Amino acid sequence: MSIRRFDLGSWLDSPLSRRRLDLAGLEEQQATVREICDRVRTEGDSALGEYGLRFDGWRPAPEEGFSVPRSEIEAALRRLAPGDRDAIEFATRRIRQFHETQAFEPVAGTPGLKLLTRPVRRAGLYVPGGRAAYPSTVLMGAIPARIAGVKEVVVATPPAPDGSVPVAILAAAAVAGVDEVYRMGGAQAIAALAYGTASVPRVDVLAGPGNVYVMLAKKEVFGSVGIDALAGPTEILVVADAGARADFVAADLASQLEHDPMAWAVLVTDSAELADRVEEEFASLVGGLDRAEIISAAHCCVVVVDDLEQAMQVANDFAPEHLELMTADPGSLSAKVENAGAVFLGPYAPVSLGDYVAGPNHTLPTAGAARFSSPLGVYNFLKRTSVASLNRGDLEMLREACVALANLEGLTAHAHAVEVRLE
């Protein structure tokens, strides 16, 4: 695999520096997704089963249903190797501890006015399958939903051709307090959760990553249901100076590229010598990794800049999902971070810890969305309602300005609704 190298000028000139979630070339996939969503919306379980058989190789028998029996979910923890169960429970404690700090209390300002915060009733979490099983994604979605107070949390994940779901996913669902696990994947799962079927009640909010069809399906159903984000391929950007360990940097670049052949890894450094060493380490490392083919197909770039000030300009413009600062003083450099989904400081904070056990959420904005959005959290499962409790004195005080504005807009019935109360 060859790493593409740039200086600052050639990087800014390159379309790679301006990567965004571009859906313009996905018309065919979007048309397929629209058809799937329309059929699941109108035909329900029949279409859901048909697409499950076509894409996952499985559909339930009439007496079986899409949900995994509760007994299987509860038994999953006993089926796990003790060390694996310990790891899931350890990660659960860390994730819960971090997310419990995201408290949102009712806000009261002007007398008689306040903002209430309430959880959604049902949350649906999509957990990808295919290349790997992701119990960590179950934890990252279900734990903040439960902390928010969501009454019912369900998971959708693609089954194997025999209808089974990886035991690690079921075990994570048991630990995180998931109510139902549905054996369904892809766009049809998103449509079922958004619209509801006879066997899959609809949810209020959808969260979780997936492939391009899942992402396009979330776009399609948005408005019928809330969504967390439209997620593109995973990405990492490392800002490193001459003192950084080249083998650490290379390892972290490869760690994110193994997710997806469309993933991104970018090193930004003020040291050409470090760039050389990282390229050597990376080439040596990749050949021995299990997912070498996926890593080799992904985007990997090195940008050599004049100084760390320029490096941070590149980082903030790229707005990466994961940002690592491997410099002599990462703490002070972190004050210059404007756009990033998650930031990791120093040589002993690899993104891998954030993916599993550090505590903050690993479902993060991608494709530059860190410029305007945030990690998945408790707030994704909350909604706000304003409350106005006003008396006659308030009405008299507000009357003149309200009536004037209503008349200014030509909405005289609005004005009348105020005036009639004071006649």
Catalogue the active-site residues: 321-322
Encoded tokens for 323: 């940002």
**Torsion angle, CA of 81/85/91/95, rounded to 10 degrees?**
150
- Please give the DSSP secondary-structure letter assigned to residue 68: P
Please report which helix (H) or strand (E) contains residue 372, including its range. Answer: none
| Distance in angstroms (rounded) separating the CA atoms of residues 238 and 267 | 5
What's the residue count for the chain? 423
| Distance in angstroms (rounded) separating the CA atoms of residues 302 and 276 | 10
Residue carrying structure tokens 């004049």: 306
Provide CB contacts within 8 A for 42, sequence distance 6+.
Answer: none
CB 392 within 8 A of CB 130: no
| Distance in angstroms (rounded) separating the CA atoms of residues 403 and 209 | 48
Q: What's the burial of 349, exposed, middle or buried (CB within 10 Å: 0-12/13-18/19+)?
A: middle
* Cα dihedral 43, 45, 47, 48 sign: positive
Provide CB contacts within 8 A for 39, sequence distance 6+.
Answer: 47, 51
Which amino acid, one-letter code, is at 197?
T
Q: What's the burial of 198, exposed, middle or buried (CB within 10 Å: 0-12/13-18/19+)?
A: exposed
| Distance in angstroms (rounded) separating the CA atoms of residues 361 and 384 | 22
Q: In Å, what is the CA distance from 88 to each residue of 16, 30, 142, 174?
A: 37, 36, 13, 10
| Distance in angstroms (rounded) separating the CA atoms of residues 12 and 322 | 20
Encoded tokens for 370: 């860190």
* Cα dihedral 240, 242, 248, 253 sign: positive
Residue 93's closest CA among 180, 175, 160, 173?
175
Q: What's the burial of 105, exposed, middle or buried (CB within 10 Å: 0-12/13-18/19+)?
A: exposed
| Distance in angstroms (rounded) separating the CA atoms of residues 163 and 68 | 9
